Amino acid sequence: MDKILSILGSVGFNWHVALANFINFLIILFILNRFFFGSLKKTLDERKSVVERGLTQASEAEKALMNAEEKKHEILREAKKEGHVIISEAQDQATRLAETIKAQAETEAEAKMKLLVEKETHLKEKVEKDVAEALPSLVATLYAATLQKNLTEEENNRLIASMK
């Protein structure tokens, strides 16, 4: 042991100084381990977890966006389909309404026509009746005017009767 110590002494070994340096290094190791490397590791791990969480959230958000986009397309497709149905129904309804209106108008026109024809017939009959009624007296008047003689009531009636 003494031999070893004397060999070490030739390179300046002094166990008191070595002990001081040993303790000093343990203190340094404790400080660096606890407050430098420990703290940095904690921060780096924390940052890594934040980044990983962010990436997960971003990927989830991307998925949600894709789903929403798909849903939007689906809604638009359905809306388009519904629109087409509504338009075609409206067109059908419009066609039906137009046909109904047309039929109604035709019926009304026919009825009016019939009424007019009836009125015309009635008027014609009335005119004919009026003419038939007025004609003998007119003829008698004309006859009297032609003969320049007033007909007696009896003659007048006779003339009218002969014309009927």
**Per-residue binder mask for other proteins (CB under 8 A), 45-84, x = binder:** -xx--x----------------------------------
Residue 76 Cβ vs other proteins, minimum distance, rounded to whole Å: 42
User: Can you tell me whether residue 50 is helix, strand or coil?
Assistant: helix
CB of 38 to other proteins, least distance (A): 6
Residue 63 neighbours by CB under 8 Å, 6+ apart? none
**What is the DSSP secondary structure assignment for residue 149, as one 8-state letter?**
-
Segment lying near other proteins (by CB under 8 A), choices 18-26, 60-68, 111-119, 154-162: 18-26
Residue 93's identity, in one-letter code, is: Q
Q: DSSP secondary-structure letter at 12?
A: T
Nearer to other proteins by C-beta: 13 or 81? Answer: 13
Is 10 a binding residue for other proteins by CB under 8 A? The answer is yes
Smallest gap from residue 39 Cβ to other proteins (A): 5
Four-point Cα dihedral 148, 152, 154, 156, nearest 10: 40
98 binds other proteins (CB under 8 A): no
DSSP letters for 52-71: HHHHHHHHHHHHHHHHHHHH
Among 22, 55, 102, 130, binds other proteins (CB under 8 A): 22
Rounded Cα gap, residues 135 and 164, in angstroms: 10
Q: Give the span between the Cα atoms of 108 and 111, in whole angstroms.
A: 5
**Of the two residues 3 and 164, which places its CB atom closer to other proteins in the complex?**
3
Contact residues: other proteins, CB under 8 A = 8, 10-14, 16-29, 31-44, 46-47, 50
